[in-house]
Amino acid sequence: MARLPLSSLLSLVLALQSEAPAKPSPLDAVKTWLIQFQKLESSGAVDALAASSYDLLVVEPTGTYRSAASFDMATMVATLRKGRKGRLVLAYLDLAEADSNRSYWQKSWTPPSATRPGTPDFLLKPDPDGWKDTYVVCYTDPRWKEILRADLARILRAGFDGLYLDWVGAYEDDAVAARIKAGGRDPAQEMLGLLGEVRRDATQLRPGALIVTQNAPYLLDVDPKVAALVDGVAFENTWYSGQAEADWDSDQGGDRPNRSGDPRRSTEALLAQYQKWQAAGKPVFTLDYCLKPDHATEVYAAARKLLFRPLVSRSALDRLTGTPPPGLSPRSP
């Protein structure tokens, strides 16, 4: 991806928007949504998702895994979309973490440890939340950006309606920030620039491609014009979280209340920040992890009161949730 100054990218996006008549976003009509990140290649998994009642589905682009290189992503997207009129299908893409199970991972690469970078040296450290085979990267590195561009192209050519971007908050990670600052750059501004590059490339490949970012609620405070680069925002763990790598049936997969010692990460502070995104015209999606039905009921009621689009699932995210939004059954056709 060619690096352009953030100001140029924002100016380009804003100019294009001002030239075209304002149109409602397809996300405006989304009331319910679901994420599934694993086991999509299992027998019946795609059909089960297609038969559900969710307006928006966020899924792994399974064909980017080395073990599933022959997986037909285009057929999956078409099947999911046909299951419900007007349904949107977004592909998960991690902006700042590499996965050793993806097809881009080379045999010559070595994973980083907690004390040293890997090879290539843009691999900085293991995932801090405990997800295995996943490594934080320096997202400004041109080699990593080329990997992102290749995956982005493959995903959108399969017919996805857009991208669901994770690890946008990497600019706040200490190891990442230190590497970027050592090069004389500002981590937050570099993330904004990367978002601009991704949006530019995505919309060139698929006009109207949607961009939804996950987490990084305070990025809006860095520069409010960043709202021009995204169509919606999603946030995890506002009320309850779960443990990484917990199996679906594990009692560690949810129900951990948000008791953050960081005032900026408290439920109250996060809700106030989400409302800033709403005021900027962006739909807010929330994702919490609960096992107990009463916790799920609590989350749905609180989120909907604020006009968010909530989802309650388990941290494994490998099947249809057993705690769907009110009015939908776990296997609702």
Q: pLDDT tens digit string along 194-232?
A: 999 999 999 999 999 999 999 999 999 999 999 999 999
Q: H/E element holding 180? A: helix 174-182
Among 49, 142, 140, 144, residue whose Cα is nearest residue 102: 144
Which SS3 state, helix, strand or coil, does residue 165 take? strand
| Cβ atoms < 10 Å from Cβ of 268 | 9
Mean pLDDT within 242-255: 98
331 occurs within a structural domain: no
pLDDT, tens digit, 9 for 90 and up, residues 69-87: 899 999 999 999 999 999 9
- Do the bridges between strand 162-166 and strand 88-94 make them parallel or antiparallel, or are there none, so unpaired? parallel
Residue 24: name the closest of 308, 283, 213 by CA: 283
Summarised one tens digit per residue, pLDDT across range 161-172 is: 999 999 999 999
Q: How far apart are CA 233 and CA 236, in angstroms?
A: 10
Kindly report, residue by residue over 12-64, the tens digit of the pLDDT.
555 444 444 457 899 999 999 999 998 999 999 999 999 999 999 999 999 99
Confidence of residue 333 (pLDDT cuts 50, 70, 90): very low
Q: Average the pLDDT over 130-155 and give the result.
A: 98
Burial 281-293 (b: 16+ CB within 10 A, else e): ebbbbbbbbbbee
Percent of the chain that is helix, strand, coil (3-state, to 5): 40, 20, 45
Higher pLDDT, 119 or 329: 119
CA-based torsion, 170, 173, 179, 185: positive or negative: positive
- Residue given tokens 């857009």 in the structure block: 162
Residues whose CB falls within 8 Å of the CB of residue 204, separated by 6 or more in sequence, listed in order: none
| Residue 115: inside a domain | no
- The yes-or-no verdict on residue 100 having pLDDT over 80 is yes
CATH number at residue 50: 3.20.20.70
Domains in the chain: how many in total?
1
Give residue 190's domain range.
6-97+144-313
Q: Say yes or no to pLDDT of 7 above 60.
A: no
Whether residue 105 is contained in a domain is answered as: no
pLDDT in the model for residue 330: 75
The answer to the question of residue 24 being in a domain is yes
pLDDT at site 20: 47
pLDDT category at 261 given cuts 50, 70, 90 is very high
Give the lowest-confidence range in 118-122, 189-193, 311-315, 328-332: 328-332
Query: Quick check: is 330 in a domain?
Result: no
**Nearest Cα to Cα of residue 289 among 257, 249, 333, 325:** 257
Phi and psi of 256, rounded to 5°?
-90, 105
Backbone phi, psi, residue 126, to 5°: -65, 155
In a domain, 120, yes or no: no
Residue 312 φ then ψ, to 5°: -120, 125
DSSP bridge pairs for 94: 166
With CA atoms as reference, report the closest residue to 333 among 33, 45, 52: 52
What percentage of the chain reaches a pLDDT higher than 90? 89
Average pLDDT over residues 298-311: 98
Decide: 258 and 267 in contact? Cβ < 8 Å. Answer: yes
CA nearest neighbour of 255 among 320, 328, 313: 313
Is there a domain that residue 248 lies in?
yes
Nearest CA to 158 among 71, 222, 225, 96?
A: 71
The residues near 157 (Cβ < 8 Å, ≥ 6 apart) are 205
Average pLDDT of the chain is 93
pLDDT at 5: 58
